[in-house]
Amino acid sequence: MIATRNLVKNLGLRMLPFSDAVSDQLPLRQLLRLSLFQISVGMAAVMLLGTLNRVMIVELGVAATIVATMIAIPVLVAPFRALLGFRSDNYRSAIGWKRIPYLWFGSMWQFGGLAIMPMALLVLSGDRTIDVGFWGEVAAALAFLLTGLGMHMTQTAGLALAADRASDETRPQVVALLYVMFLIGMGISAVIIGTLLRDFSALRLVQVVQGAAVATLLLNVIALWKQERVAPMTKAERAAPKPVFKQAWRDLTAGTDAGRLLVVIFLGTLAFNMQDVLLEPYGGEILGLSVSATTLLTALWALGALIGFGLAAHWMKGDTHPHRMAARGILIGLIAFSSVIFAAPMNSTVLFFAGAAGIGLGGGLFAVATLTSAMALDTQGTAGKGLALGAWGAAQATAAGVAIFMGGALRDSVNALATSGALGEALQSSATGYSVVYHMEIGLLFITLVALGPLVRARPLSDTTPLPTGLADFPT
């Protein structure tokens, strides 16, 4: 009877998604609870980059330039993620916590930014009884700054804590689970927030955004509860000289491939993300697709990313190193962007949708592979996991922000020249600007592949240990 019960229990655990991410140091219940911080970060990302972007321009009538400036603020603080990770590596407290204080204060800043944001936006839009001059812009900028800084601190400290608690064998699966939870947070939040703001009013905006602030605090408190052991430090340990960031950075880049890996992450993210604000306009303006049809692009992108995670599970359970998996993601991206380019002259919506799914597939493979590589860096000296993961986040987030700006600006400037006839009769089309951006992304993918080459050669497959990803049973 006992043997049968144990068999049923073990079979049930094996059938659960990400069950092989569990280790003695990080049981399944604690792992799932810890991953909730990614839900809150995904919710804030949807709020900043999607919902509030549209609300400020359409419903509140704020100038697009001001909106773009506000959206850029969280990107501007992204490079500080490396410093935040380094500080969490070397934080000293009487009870020995390192990551939990940063998770807590990151949660508080994220909560504070969302709490004051709706009032600041209403003042910014002119909905006020007293003229406050430029203080509306100041308050809105402060709200975006606090939210962005809180997101970066929470995610960096949370990923570092997960890396600390995971074993070497389960770390890739933990990476996958955290990435999936981030995408789930974005998807669920987009649906809920979009539904609640369908009948827009100033009061409803305040309720939704401040409700998101409360949900952020609740999720993050549940996530960090009892996740780090109490290990009291002596006065001598707390008084010892702290490492210097410059020296820690030298330790990280000198003894590992971290420097080249960060270049690969920046270039690859730049290549995959320049199309973020262009795919839906391309489908509507060039291919004549309806709003409902272009909305499916996000779903196809997500589906492609999920298929990518499934492939990651298959490959990393074998003998494929993460760097080789990143290279495969880049090659898939090359085919996907080519499909999107040829969709216009061939007037093929099938080719266009296949390209959108391929971009998600290639981008998902690339993101999981590079994050796994960052978590597996053999840090030494004064460099720790927090610094490595903070550097990954800084490179990834900064490149994404730069890519979105470059994509939109390049498309507008090239289209202005093309439609005026300055580029010749053959290119006198509104599709020219989009095509130039997609061709540039293909070029960047080739450059990324060249930068990645030495990393692949430095770690031949024969010298690697199989790293399971735990995504084969996935239900980003």
What is the maximal distance between C-alpha atoms in the chain?
82
> 468 pLDDT exceeds 50?
no
Contact call for residues 142 and 116 (beta carbons, < 8 A): yes
For residues 181 and 290, give the distance between their C-alpha atoms in angstroms, rounded to a whole number.
30
Burial class of residue 206 in the structure, from the number of CB atoms within 10 Å of its CB (0-12 exposed, 13-18 middle, 19+ buried): middle
C-alpha dist (Å) from residue 175 to 167, 181, 312, 314: 12, 10, 12, 15
User: From its phi and psi, is residue 265 left (phi > 0), alpha (psi between -120 and 50) or beta?
Assistant: alpha
Tokens 């804590």 correspond to: 161
Same fold, 20-230 and 243-476: yes
pLDDT on residue 110: 92
pLDDT on residue 332: 92
For residues 424 and 417, give the distance between their C-alpha atoms in angstroms, rounded to a whole number.
9
Tokens of 64: 């697009």
> 219 pLDDT exceeds 80?
yes
pLDDT in tens, 319-346: 677 888 888 899 999 999 998 888 888 8
Give the number of other Cβ atoms within 10 Å of residue 257's Cβ.
17
Tokens 């009538």 correspond to: 61
Assign 424 a pLDDT band (cuts: 50, 70, 90). Answer: confident
| 17-21, 25-29, 267-271, 396-400: range with highest mean pLDDT | 267-271
Contact call for residues 233 and 92 (beta carbons, < 8 A): yes
Average pLDDT taken over every residue of the chain? 77
Output 398 or 238, whichever has higher pLDDT.
Answer: 398
What DSSP assignment string belongs to 338-389? HHHHHHHHHT-HHHHHHHHHHHHHHHHHHHHHHHHHHHT----TT--HHHHH
Give the number of other Cβ atoms within 10 Å of residue 2's Cβ.
6
pLDDT in tens, 154-192: 888 888 888 778 777 777 677 777 877 887 887 788 778
Pick the CATH number of 20-230 from 1.20.140.10, 1.20.1250.20, 3.20.20.70, 3.40.50.970: 1.20.1250.20
End-to-end CA distance of the chain: 40
The region of weakest confidence among 98-107, 257-266, 292-301, 409-418 is: 292-301
Contact call for residues 395 and 270 (beta carbons, < 8 A): no
Output 449 or 379, whichever has higher pLDDT.
Answer: 449
pLDDT in tens, 372-397: 787 777 666 555 667 777 777 788 88
For residues 37 and 154, give the distance between their C-alpha atoms in angstroms, rounded to a whole number.
7
What DSSP assignment string belongs to 291-345? HHHHHHHHHHHHHHHHHHHHHHHHHHTTT--HHHHHHHHHHHHHHHHHHHHHHHH
> Would you kindly state where each structural domain of the chain is located, as residue ranges?
20-230, 243-476
pLDDT on residue 350: 85
pLDDT in tens, 23-35: 667 777 888 888 8
The sign one gets for the Cα dihedral 324, 325, 330, 331 is positive
Half-sphere exposure of 29 (CA within 13 A, CB side): 2
pLDDT in tens, 55-83: 776 667 777 667 767 777 787 787 787 77
Assign 463 a pLDDT band (cuts: 50, 70, 90). Answer: very low
Superfamily designation of domain 243-476: MFS general substrate transporter like domains (1.20.1250.20)
pLDDT on residue 58: 66
Tokens 């890996």 correspond to: 261
For residues 255 and 464, give the distance between their C-alpha atoms in angstroms, rounded to a whole number.
18
Sorted by sequence, the CB contacts under 8 Å of residue 307 that are 6+ apart come out as 357, 361, 364
pLDDT on residue 218: 94
Say what the pTM is. Answer: 0.72
Kindly calculate the radius of gyration of the chain based on its CA atoms and give it in whole angstroms. 23
